[in-house]
């Protein structure tokens, strides 16, 4: 184990300020979702479809804007982007209850919440793009591990504490408290030294105006496509992001239904499963940073997808409460292992000048995949059965994983392009 090296990360000031900002921001984001759920209950009581419609507030902005924002992140200061984004989010959040009272309508909330998630794309794209500038490449894996470790704690706290907090202080004060969280996240970014954030592309303000963003995007997309053709490692990692989102959509549409209605655990049971899943994510995030693992990061990604396939395939034959708990725990562990490995590979393989676009495209295709597959899985499950769908998804993931390993081992890409994990 590498506890000493892991805790040495806390001595890297710029990295710690970035991770702390992300942790506070994640807590605020989970609180935003709890506020969203609260307002749905107030404005559309008893309507399950309202939750599906509300999901468009945090998926459509990503689909529409993430490629463009990825371009801007690669041409602007990532440090300043995060500071300004968090401050703007704080301003619009604190204004929401006043606008609702002023207009005697909840329409301002829906506009502001959509704008909030659109601005959040700047944070979600800038943070992983900036991290390689703050830490040596050999420390990227444990740095991502520490980031995911603290982020998962913030996720749990935002869901559990946030729910009780809103009940205690009311949704109006909830918006004000949330605004304070995002303002704090922005101020923490000030702790990152300016010299550590070198603008990837040196262009004038006129050249990076919004009016020219689309023309810049056209050229940059061609560059990204060329990168994916030339670098199969980047191609497989981006493809694995889509598969991981596919797995998340299956879990969202089927597993929540199974826990809530088939096992008769109700909504409280879904909350318990979410907590177990989050615990697994915390364990998985900590494991890659602490333990000395000696196989390729790409193997972790492909192996994780294979294990997900195995769990889905055998699930219909061993569907019990204990098995669901085991799936939630190990599913969370695998998710963190795969996510940390994915981000680290991209940070190592992709040049700084296009790193923002890569993470922007990852967000873009991830949300498209989630919407499409969630709808398809729901329809197919109703027409057939959840057991058939789970088994079919499992076999599909197993086949894809095996074929990927065979193809890339034959081309010797794994051994030549990805260094073994050495947490030293």
Q: What digits encode the pLDDT tens for the residues 310-368?
A: 999 998 887 777 888 888 889 889 988 898 888 888 888 877 777 777 777 777 777 77
Check pLDDT > 70 for residue 189: yes
Q: Which residue has the higher pLDDT, 120 or 129?
A: 120
Angstrom CA distances, 43 to 39, 51, 57, 100, 109, stand at 6, 11, 15, 12, 11
pLDDT higher than 70, residue 252: no
| CA atoms within 13 Å, Cβ hemisphere of 278 | 18
- 312 neighbors 391 (Cβ within 8 angstroms): yes
Q: How confident is the model at residue 10 (pLDDT cuts 50, 70, 90)?
A: confident
pLDDT of residue 422: 43
- CA-based nearest residue to 82, from 195, 197, 177: 197
Is residue 407's pLDDT more than 60?
Answer: yes
Instruction: Indicate the range of 181-185, 210-214, 361-365 predicted with least confidence.
Output: 210-214
pLDDT higher at 84 or 54: 84
**The pLDDT of residue 394:** 92
**CB 186 within 8 Å of CB 90:** yes
Helices (H), 3-55: 3-7, 13-43, 49-54
Question: Between the CA of residue 285 and those of 144, 147, 274, 290, what are the distances in Å?
Answer: 8, 8, 16, 9
Q: Provide the sign of the torsion angle of the four alpha carbons 92, 96, 97, 103, taken in this order.
A: positive
Look at residue 325 in the predicted model and tell me its pLDDT.
Answer: 84
The pLDDT-based confidence of 98 (bands split at 50, 70, 90) is very high
- Residue 260: which of 51, 56, 113 has the closest Cα? 51
Per-residue pLDDT band for 215 (boundaries 50, 70, 90) equals low
Average pLDDT, stretch 273-298? 76
Neighbours of 269 (CB within 10 A): 18
- pLDDT the model gives residue 372: 78
For residue 93, what pLDDT is reported?
96
At 201, the pLDDT band (50, 70, 90 cuts) reads: low
Pairwise pLDDT comparison (196 vs 85), residue with the higher score: 85
Joined together, the tokens standing for residue 83 give 């500071």
Task: Give the DSSP H or E segment for 100.
Answer: helix 78-103
Which pLDDT value is given to residue 101?
A: 93
Which pLDDT tens digit goes with each residue over 108-118? 999 999 999 99
Q: What percent of the chain has pLDDT over 90?
A: 26
Q: Decide which of 240 and 4 is more confident.
A: 240
Per-residue pLDDT tens digits for 51-63: 556 777 877 887 7
Distance CA 162, CA 135 (A): 32
Find the distance separating the first CA and the last CA of the chain, reported in whole Å: 10
Q: Which CATH architecture has domain 3-198+206-417?
A: Up-down Bundle (1.20)
Domain ranges of the chain: 3-198+206-417
Q: Over the stretch 125-165, which tens digit does the pLDDT of each residue have?
A: 899 889 988 988 888 888 888 898 888 888 878 777 777 78
Residue 423 pLDDT: 40
| Residue 49: pLDDT over 60 | no
CA 97 to chain centre: 28
Look at 59-68, 103-112, 300-309 and tell me which has the smallest mean pLDDT: 59-68
* Residue 205 in this model has a pLDDT that exceeds 60: no
Choose among 250, 220, 166, 235: nearest CA to 413. 235
Q: In this prediction, what percent of the chain has a pLDDT beyond 70? A: 81
């Amino acid at each position: 184990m590498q506890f000493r090296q892991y805790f040495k990360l806390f001595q890297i000031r710029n990295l710690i300020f970035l991770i702390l900002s992300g942790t506070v921001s994640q807590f605020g984001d989970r609180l935003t979702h709890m506020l969203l759920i609260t307002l749905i209950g107030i404005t559309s009581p008893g309507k399950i479809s309202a939750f599906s419609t509300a999901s468009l507030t945090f998926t459509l902005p990503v689909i529409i804007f993430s490629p463009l924002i990825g371009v801007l992140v690669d041409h602007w200061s990532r440090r300043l982007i995060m500071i300004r984004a968090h401050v703007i989010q704080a301003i619009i959040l604190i204004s929401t209850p006043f606008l609702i009272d002023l207009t005697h309508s909840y329409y301002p909330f829906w506009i502001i919440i959509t704008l909030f998630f659109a601005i959040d794309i700047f944070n979600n794209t800038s943070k992983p793009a900036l991290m390689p500038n703050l830490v040596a490449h050999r420390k990227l894996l444990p740095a991502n591990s520490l980031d995911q470790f603290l982020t998962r704690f913030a996720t749990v706290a935002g869901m559990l504490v946030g729910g009780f907090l809103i009940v205690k202080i009311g949704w109006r004060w909830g918006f004000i408290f949330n605004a304070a969280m995002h303002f704090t996240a922005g101020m923490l970014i000030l702790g990152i030294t300016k010299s550590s954030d070198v603008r990837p592309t040196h262009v004038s303000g006129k050249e990076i105006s919004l009016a020219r963003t689309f023309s810049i995007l056209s050229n940059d997309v061609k560059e990204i496509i060329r990168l994916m053709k030339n670098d199969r490692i980047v191609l497989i990692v981006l493809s694995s992001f889509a598969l991981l989102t596919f797995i998340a959509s299956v879990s969202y549409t089927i597993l929540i239904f199974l826990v809530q209605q088939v096992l008769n655990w109700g909504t409280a049971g879904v909350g318990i499963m979410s907590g177990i899943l989050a615990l697994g994510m915390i364990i998985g995030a900590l494991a890659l940073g602490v333990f000395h693992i000696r196989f390729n990061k790409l193997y972790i990604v492909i192996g994780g997808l294979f294990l997900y396939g195995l769990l889905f395939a055998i699930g219909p034959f061993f569907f019990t409460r204990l098995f669901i708990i085991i799936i939630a725990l190990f599913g969370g562990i695998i998710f963190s292992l795969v996510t940390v490995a994915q981000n680290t590979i991209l940070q190592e393989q992709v040049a700084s000048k296009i790193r923002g676009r890569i993470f922007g495209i990852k967000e873009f295709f991830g949300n498209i995949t989630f919407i499409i597959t969630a709808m398809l899985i729901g329809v197919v499950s109703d027409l057939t059965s959840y057991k058939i769908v789970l088994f079919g998804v499992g076999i599909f993931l197993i086949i894809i994983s095996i074929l990927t390993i065979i193809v890339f081992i034959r081309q010797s890409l794994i051994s030549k392009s990805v260094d073994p994990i050495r947490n030293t």
